[in-house]
């Protein structure tokens, strides 16, 4: 395998007879050394990752008269080396020219499947763009902060000039100080922006980038009043703050929001409050009672129409953010429709992938907008991954591919290719997840497409930009 070949520095190539002779000679030497046991010499430590220095110094013997040793042994083992003589072994030039990076992934533990698919995506990037000088040092973080710290230190000790990973925010916080102390940059896969700092990049898909894209698109279509239905917790708190700030940036109005726990009772109560269900329900009942007292034909026709309704009155917002996907999303949109927050009156918007078959078939979700990866490059990556590994990749695998592809391209410039100014090119790079660029303060800006859910599938209503506003040129392709 091409990837593993890069770690195979020494390859035995002896014939069988030669190997047998070597074994016999080794046994003879071992017996001779056993006879010399009183003259013990402490062996130098051997690193599992290979020697750090290619220097062999002559061992020191204890002050013992050699006259007591047998003549044969005396002449060979007690021959004094020249004073201050150091034998230096020079490694092959191919090893000296290597550019090493550490890849920190959870290859064991509860997230081992995720780590495996991300490592496989990294392999694809190596096959596609790396040269023979590019060497990757995979290390298992075990999915824990302590494991990530140990893995990072091991990679640094083995000569890594850049660290890619770990996946999770807490692990990245443990690794960042080690990378800073070693004066190397870190590209983590977390989307926890609190980890970001100069030299420590947050490569995950940041919620604020996705919010900016979906709110901006909705505002461009005339939507000016926004609401949100957000779960309790730190993620919800941060999301609401970013959402409100983004809405104001586009000159729109943040009307209201409600929060919920992840159970049906809490979600139902939050939806009823968001849509002011009780007030609108009372308004309908009052209207019906007034019409019933009238006996004219017009009042009867209106009353007949109102019989089909459960509430009366319009909503105070035009779009509602739902930061959910999967079964939770299906449950929420069904309840929204039931309590008269209808998709025909209000646009449902999201920041997660809503392209699964089960969601497309959900009638209440028809016409909804969400942000996602650029369909063309991502679908190309998925097909290529599936053709090689015979399975579908996790969405985060696209990040692993792009981070490794970027690293392999920059490695062609040598270790200096990983300098901050080289990694933070203004024009950015174009990868399997679309256009992205690393910012000097540690954030990574991704560009997204806007999709619409339809009964026939997902349609792109606003393609991902192919360049950043600072540049009029096409983005660099890192493949």
pLDDT digits (tens, 9 = 90+) for 390-400: 999 998 999 99
Is 195 in contact with 172 (CB distance < 8 Å)?
Answer: yes
Separation between Cα atoms, residue 464 and residue 111, nearest integer Å: 31
* Position with higher pLDDT, 165 vs 290: 165
Q: What is the mean pLDDT of the chain?
A: 81
Confidence (pLDDT) at 88? 60
pLDDT tens for 173-228 read: 999 999 999 999 999 999 999 999 999 999 999 999 999 999 999 999 999 999 99
Separation between Cα atoms, residue 106 and residue 167, nearest integer Å: 8
The pTM (predicted TM-score) of the whole model is: 0.73
* Position with higher pLDDT, 359 vs 311: 359
Contacts 24+ apart (CB under 8 A), 411-415: 411/99, 411/101, 411/130, 411/131, 411/133, 411/134, 412/131, 412/133, 414/99, 415/99, 415/161
pLDDT tens for 70-124 read: 444 444 344 455 555 565 655 555 566 789 999 999 999 999 999 999 999 999 9
Confidence band of 19 (pLDDT split at 50, 70, 90): very low
Residue 222's Cβ-count burial label (10 Å; 0-12, 13-18, 19+) is exposed
Confidence (pLDDT) at 276? 92
Give the max Cα distance, the chain. 133
Question: Smallest Cα–Cα separation from 125: which of 352, 403, 447, 359?
Answer: 403
Say whether pLDDT at 128 is over 80: yes
Confidence (pLDDT) at 91? 54
Residue 457 in tokens: 């599938």
Confidence (pLDDT) at 87? 57
Across 350-371, b (16+ Cβ under 10 Å) vs e yields bbbbbbeeebbebebbbebbbb
Confidence (pLDDT) at 47? 29
Residue 44's Cβ-count burial label (10 Å; 0-12, 13-18, 19+) is exposed
* Position with higher pLDDT, 3 vs 317: 317
Q: Where are the alpha helices (DSSP H) in 315-446?
A: 326-338, 357-360, 375-389, 396-411, 420-423
What share of the chain in percent tops pLDDT 70? 78
Confidence band of 29 (pLDDT split at 50, 70, 90): very low
Distances (CA, A) of 56 to 63, 159, 271: 21, 20, 73
Is 434 in contact with 449 (CB distance < 8 Å)?
Answer: yes
Mean pLDDT, to the nearest integer, of 362-371?
94
Say whether pLDDT at 386 is over 80: yes
At 112, which helix (H) or strand (E)?
Answer: helix 112-129
Q: What are phi and psi of 22, to 5 degrees?
A: -65, -40
Confidence band of 309 (pLDDT split at 50, 70, 90): confident
Confidence band of 263 (pLDDT split at 50, 70, 90): very high
Helices 396-411 and 112-129 pack at an angle, to 10 degrees, of 40
pLDDT tens for 464-478 read: 988 886 433 333 333
Mean pLDDT, to the nearest integer, of 32-51?
33
Is 247 in contact with 226 (CB distance < 8 Å)?
Answer: yes
Separation between Cα atoms, residue 172 and residue 105, nearest integer Å: 11
Confidence (pLDDT) at 16? 35
Q: What one-character DSSP code corresponds to residue 85?
A: -
Mean pLDDT, to the nearest integer, of 47-70?
37
Confidence (pLDDT) at 284? 82
Say whether pLDDT at 69 is over 80: no
Confidence (pLDDT) at 324? 95
Residue 224 in tokens: 């000016």
β-strand partners of 452: 369, 459
Confidence (pLDDT) at 352? 94
pLDDT tens for 277-286 read: 889 889 888 8
């Amino acid at each position: 395998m091409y990837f593993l070949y890069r770690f195979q520095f020494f390859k035995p190539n002896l014939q069988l007879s030669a190997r047998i002779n070597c074994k016999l000679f080794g046994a003879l030497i071992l017996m001779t050394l056993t006879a010399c046991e009183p003259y013990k010499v402490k062996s130098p430590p051997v690193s599992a990752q290979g020697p750090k220095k290619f220097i062999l110094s002559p061992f020191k013997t204890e002050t013992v008269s050699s006259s007591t040793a047998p003549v044969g042994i005396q002449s060979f083992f007690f021959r004094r080396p020249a004073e201050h003589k150091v034998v230096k072994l020079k490694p092959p030039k191919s090893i000296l020219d290597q550019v090493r990076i550490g890849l920190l992934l959870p290859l064991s533990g509860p997230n081992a499947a995720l780590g495996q698919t991300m490592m496989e995506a990294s392999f694809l990037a190596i096959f596609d763009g790396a040269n023979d000088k590019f060497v990757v040092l995979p290390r298992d973080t075990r999915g824990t902060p302590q494991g990530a710290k140990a893995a990072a230190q091991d990679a640094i000790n083995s000569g890594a000039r850049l660290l890619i990973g770990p996946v999770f925010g807490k692990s990245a916080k443990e690794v960042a100080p080690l990378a800073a102390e070693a004066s190397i940059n870190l590209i983590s896969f977390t989307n926890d922006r609190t980890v970001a700092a100069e030299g420590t990049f947050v490569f995950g898909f940041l919620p604020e980038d996705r919010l900016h894209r979906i709110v901006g698109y909705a505002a461009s279509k005339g939507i000016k009043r926004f609401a949100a239905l957000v779960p309790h917790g730190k993620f919800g708190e941060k999301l609401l703050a970013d959402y409100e700030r983004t809405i104001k940036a586009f000159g729109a109005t943040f009307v209201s929001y409600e929060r919920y726990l992840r159970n049906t009772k809490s979600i139902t109560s939050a939806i009823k409050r968001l849509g002011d269900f009780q007030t609108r329900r009372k308004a309908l009942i009052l209207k019906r009672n007034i019409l019933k007292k009238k006996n004219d034909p017009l009042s009867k026709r209106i009353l007949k129409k109102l019989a089909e309704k459960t509430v009366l009155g319009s909503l105070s917002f035009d779009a509602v953010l739902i930061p959910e996907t999967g079964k939770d999303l299906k449950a929420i949109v069904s309840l929204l429709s039931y309590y008269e927050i209808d998709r025909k009156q209000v646009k449902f918007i999201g920041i997660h992938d809503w392209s699964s078959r089960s969601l497309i078939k959900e009638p209440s979700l028809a016409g909804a907008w969400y942000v996602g990866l650029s369909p063309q490059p991502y679908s190309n990556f998925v097909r290529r991954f599936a053709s090689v590994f015979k399975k579908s990749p996790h969405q985060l695998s696209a990040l692993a591919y792009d981070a490794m592809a970027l690293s392999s391209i920059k490695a062609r410039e040598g270790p200096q290719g990983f300098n901050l100014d080289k990694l933070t090119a203004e024009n950015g790079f174009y990868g399997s997840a679309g256009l992205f660029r690393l910012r000097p303060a540690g954030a990574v800006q991704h560009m997204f497409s806007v999709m619409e859910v339809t009964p026939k599938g997902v349609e792109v209503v606003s393609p991902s930009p192919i360049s950043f506003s600072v540049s009029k040129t096409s983005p660099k392709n890192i493949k």
